[in-house]
A and B are shown apart, each in its own frame.
Chain A
Amino acid sequence: MTSEIDHIIEGCRKKEPKAQHMLYEYFSSRMYGVCLRYSNSSADAQDTLHEGFLKIFEKISQYGSRGSFEGWIRRIMVNTALEKFRGKYKTVDIQENLKEADSVINDELNENLAVQELLKMIDELSPQYKMVFNLFAIEGYSHKEISEMLKITEGTSKSNLSRARAILQEKVKIYYKESIRTVTAI
């Protein structure tokens, strides 16, 4: 499979339309999933996917062949979504003094949580909370990196994350009525 991807990448470097289509077919479903998480609607997600793939085809010669290609594509999609976000929304630097709640969900509930429900919960967050939660919890960026990406302070990033977690917890709680336990850390 690795060699097949390498072959497709090489074809894309040569701007071969067939290779570009194959690359799209190979990654479009996963990347559309990423785009949906960062967008407000499926139309926005399709726009992001469109722009992201154009960048991939344009910049593929810059890919160094050693790191994860999917990771590289994913970063392009996330960055494209970020650019659209920055163009559409003005980020607000507000730091709230929230108690850091260490939220946990038990395994039984975890097994019953459907992906679609979780996506819907994330989608219902405000744009900035959604962005911070996606970048930190799903993608694994640090607060320092998020602060640079969104042009906000680290404190705001932490504050947004706490607020997003609290809202998501509440949504899970409402959805399942009970069985969630919150441990408040000092």
Chain B
Amino acid sequence: MKDQHKHIDDVFHEKVYDYSTPPPGNVWDDIEKSLAKSKKKKVAFLYFKIAAGFIFLAGMTALYTKYINNQNPGNTTSIIAKKTEIENERQNDNLVQKNTSHNQTSIPGNKSTSQQLTVNNNYSSSKKETDAVPAYVIGQSNEIYESTAIATSEKQKLNIISRVEPSIIYASESKINIKNSPVSNKPALPDSQDDLFDELIAQNDTKKNRDLVWSIGGQAGPQYTYRKITNTDQTAMNNNDFDNYDSPMLAYAGGLQIEVEPSRRLSVQSGVYYSKVGQNISSRYVNQPKNDYFPVESYASDQRAIEVVNSIGTFTFEKSNTNITSSNSKVNERISNTYYLDVSTTEEKADVLGRQYFEFIEIPLILRYKIVDQKIGVNIIGGVNTDILVNNYVGVSNSSNETIESKAGNLKTFNYSGTVGFGFEYPVSKKVMFSIEPFFKYYISPIDKKSVANAHPYMIGIMTGLNYSF
């Protein structure tokens, strides 16, 4: 009888590969406990995200409310009333001088035939000097009418003036149009009060300079784009393979921006941008050893398309383009039913070049803080972006320079990224600012729904642009 022999590797493989034995019962109990803990952590993180969202919304609401309060015409009523009050104090001062023998003063000619006019005669007619309050009514066109002017003491006048905020005075300056005033010339306030009034106006002029400044503009520039693989457990694929196959790609971005400056140093920017990001997915000879081929997740003769596992999304090639059969020497079985695909349509040796890119519409929310406030300003930049995927493309060239095209699947439409950078700006004219901004942008979560790699695209680029302020 002839001896039959087997290699020692095969002996071990055949007997040991499928060896199974039940684990102790406590293993599942421990797994259950760990799963429960993980669930609690996820819930806690969800609450944290919700809380952060509320804080952000509250902050934005506060900023918005502050802005609205600065701009709201409704406040003009009280502003104008107060301003008129001051003017009236001046007028009353004259009246007091003229009517020293009377505690009550009526103002001649203060009634109008206009239907807009409403007069509060009842209120002031019986008042005495010490508690008198003048009443004013604003017409539909911000015209102001006074019904009564009552003299007050010098002390009261000073108090009234000092209570009025500079911004209030300024805001009312252009809107006041006093009709039927008995005294049209500038009142003769004492010098000290004139000085105080001028000072308040001067302060208000300073305030005017700090009012919200808006600007619009455009930016564009090149960006170096790639992705970071964050899956470290190397489950279905060895991540080193992806890093060996892929390489960075040069792309570009640009868009329109709108910016508001709540203060001289701080600005908030949004807008609409276009951004193209991607990667070169391969560059090699088709007939090199199998490890250099694309890994294919599965293959069956009745399938029409070949699914290729990729670092960003999964994409397919139609079978007619892939020259793949079970007997084709370009398809090699690895282990555990993983195959390698040569996407070239010919048997010739040639470079196979692949390219994958994504196009996004981006809505940024960027903060800029000016750290150098000179002619050439320097800003630090930080913010978040909502990135809406509008197109994705995969193309691989074969030896005949034909491009086989495909699309990656399982990508998220809405993505979020963070931006940090520096900005240098130079005033081209009084209203126009030129800027150069080197930046780094990183996608906060993987852009694919289901991937073995968990790829986060990132970009390093330089944006240049012009801004027009108004």
Q: Does B470 contact A (CB under 8 A)?
A: no
Q: Does B73 contact A (CB under 8 A)?
A: no
* Residue interface bits A83-108, CB-to-B below 8 A is 1, else 0: 10000000000000000001111110
**Which interface class (under 10, 10 to 19, 20 to 34, 35 or more) fits B?**
35 or more
Other than the given A55-B235, A141-B335, 7 more pairs (CB < 8 A) read A29-B23, A50-B27, A64-B297, A66-B297, A104-B6, A105-B8, A113-B11
CA distance A121 to B385 in the complex (A): 58
User: Are B31 and A53 in contact, with the CB atoms below 8 A?
Assistant: yes
CA distance A122 to B13 in the complex (A): 12
CB distance from B450 to the nearest CB of A (A): 5
**Which residues from 230 to 263 on chain B have a C-beta closer than 8 Å to any C-beta of chain A?**
233-236, 238, 240
Q: Does B452 contact A (CB under 8 A)?
A: yes
The interface residues of chain A lying within 8 Å CB-to-CB of B8 are: 103-105, 137, 165, 168-169, 172
* Residue interface bits B102-138, CB-to-A below 8 A is 1, else 0: 0000000000000000000000000000000000000
Q: Does A63 contact B (CB under 8 A)?
A: yes
CA distance A169 to B24 in the complex (A): 32
CB distance from B326 to the nearest CB of A (A): 16
CA distance A109 to B8 in the complex (A): 11
User: Are B27 and A28 in contact, with the CB atoms below 8 A?
Assistant: yes
Segment at the interface with A among B14-22, B60-68, B93-101, B164-172:
B14-22
User: Are B12 and A138 in contact, with the CB atoms below 8 A?
Assistant: yes
Q: Does B153 contact A (CB under 8 A)?
A: no
With both beta carbons as reference points, the residue of chain A lying nearest to B333 in the complex is identified as A140
Q: Does A163 contact B (CB under 8 A)?
A: no
The interface residues of chain A lying within 8 Å CB-to-CB of B28 are: 21, 24, 28
User: Are B450 and A64 in contact, with the CB atoms below 8 A?
Assistant: yes
Q: Does B155 contact A (CB under 8 A)?
A: no
User: Are B336 and A105 in contact, with the CB atoms below 8 A?
Assistant: no
Q: Does B307 contact A (CB under 8 A)?
A: yes
Secondary structure of the A side of the interface?
helix
User: Are B21 and A118 in contact, with the CB atoms below 8 A?
Assistant: no
User: Are B235 and A106 in contact, with the CB atoms below 8 A?
Assistant: no
User: Are A64 and B314 in contact, with the CB atoms below 8 A?
Assistant: yes
Q: Does B338 contact A (CB under 8 A)?
A: yes
User: Are A46 and B337 in contact, with the CB atoms below 8 A?
Assistant: no
**Which residues from 10 to 33 on chain A have a C-beta closer than 8 Å to any C-beta of chain B?**
15, 17, 20-21, 24, 28-30, 32-33
* Residue interface bits B314-341, CB-to-A below 8 A is 1, else 0: 1000000000000000000001111000
User: Are A137 and B291 in contact, with the CB atoms below 8 A?
Assistant: no
Task: Tell whether A54 pairs with B35 under 8 Å between CB atoms, given A62-B451, A104-B8.
Answer: yes
CA distance A144 to B238 in the complex (A): 12
Q: Among the listed A37, A105, A148, which residue makes an inter-chain contact with B238, where contact means beta carbons less than 8 Å apart?
A: A148
User: Are B307 and A79 in contact, with the CB atoms below 8 A?
Assistant: no
The interface residues of chain A lying within 8 Å CB-to-CB of B240 are: 148
Q: Does B430 contact A (CB under 8 A)?
A: no
User: Are A62 and B15 in contact, with the CB atoms below 8 A?
Assistant: no
Which of B35, B236, B309 has most A Cβ within 10 Å?
Answer: B236
Q: Does A119 contact B (CB under 8 A)?
A: yes
Task: Tell whether A54 pairs with B38 under 8 Å between CB atoms, given A24-B28, A67-B297, A75-B236.
Answer: yes
Task: Tell whether A138 pairs with B17 under 8 Å between CB atoms, given A53-B31, A165-B8, A168-B8.
Answer: yes
* Residue interface bits A111-154, CB-to-B below 8 A is 1, else 0: 00101001100100000000001001111111011001100000
* Residue interface bits B288-309, CB-to-A below 8 A is 1, else 0: 0001000001100000000101
* Residue interface bits A43-84, CB-to-B below 8 A is 1, else 0: 001100110011101110111101110011011100110010
User: Are A75 and B336 in contact, with the CB atoms below 8 A?
Assistant: yes
Q: Does B3 contact A (CB under 8 A)?
A: yes
User: Are A30 and B5 in contact, with the CB atoms below 8 A?
Assistant: no
Residues of A within 8 A of B (CB): 15, 17, 20-21, 24, 28-30, 32-33, 36-37, 42, 45-46, 49-50, 53-55, 57-59, 61-64, 66-68, 71-72, 74-76, 79-80, 83, 102-107, 110, 113, 115, 118-119, 122, 133, 136-142, 144-145, 148-149, 165, 168-169, 172, 181
The interface residues of chain A lying within 8 Å CB-to-CB of B451 are: 62
The interface residues of chain B lying within 8 Å CB-to-CB of A49 are: 23, 27
CA distance A172 to B11 in the complex (A): 11
Q: Does B206 contact A (CB under 8 A)?
A: no
With both beta carbons as reference points, the residue of chain A lying nearest to B234 in the complex is identified as A79
User: Are A181 and B233 in contact, with the CB atoms below 8 A?
Assistant: no
The interface residues of chain A lying within 8 Å CB-to-CB of B20 are: 29-30, 32-33
CA distance A29 to B21 in the complex (A): 5
CA distance A88 to B22 in the complex (A): 26
Task: Tell whether A64 pairs with B307 under 8 Å between CB atoms, given A20-B35, A115-B15.
Answer: yes
CB distance from B411 to the nearest CB of A (A): 14
CA distance A167 to B6 in the complex (A): 17
User: Are A66 and B307 in contact, with the CB atoms below 8 A?
Assistant: yes
User: Are B235 and A119 in contact, with the CB atoms below 8 A?
Assistant: no
User: Are B11 and A110 in contact, with the CB atoms below 8 A?
Assistant: yes
**Which residues from 37 to 67 on chain B have a C-beta closer than 8 Å to any C-beta of chain A?**
38-39
CB distance from A107 to the nearest CB of B (A): 4
User: Are A55 and B7 in contact, with the CB atoms below 8 A?
Assistant: no
CA distance A102 to B7 in the complex (A): 7
The interface residues of chain B lying within 8 Å CB-to-CB of A63 are: 236
Which of A62, A63, A83 has most B Cβ within 10 Å?
Answer: A62
The interface residues of chain A lying within 8 Å CB-to-CB of B191 are: none
With both beta carbons as reference points, the residue of chain B lying nearest to A140 in the complex is identified as B335
Sampled A-B contacts (26; CB under 8 Å): A21-B28, A29-B22, A30-B18, A32-B27, A42-B24, A55-B235, A62-B236, A64-B298, A64-B309, A79-B233, A103-B8, A104-B5, A104-B6, A104-B8, A105-B6, A105-B8, A106-B3, A110-B11, A115-B19, A133-B12, A136-B9, A138-B12, A138-B16, A140-B13, A172-B8, A181-B5
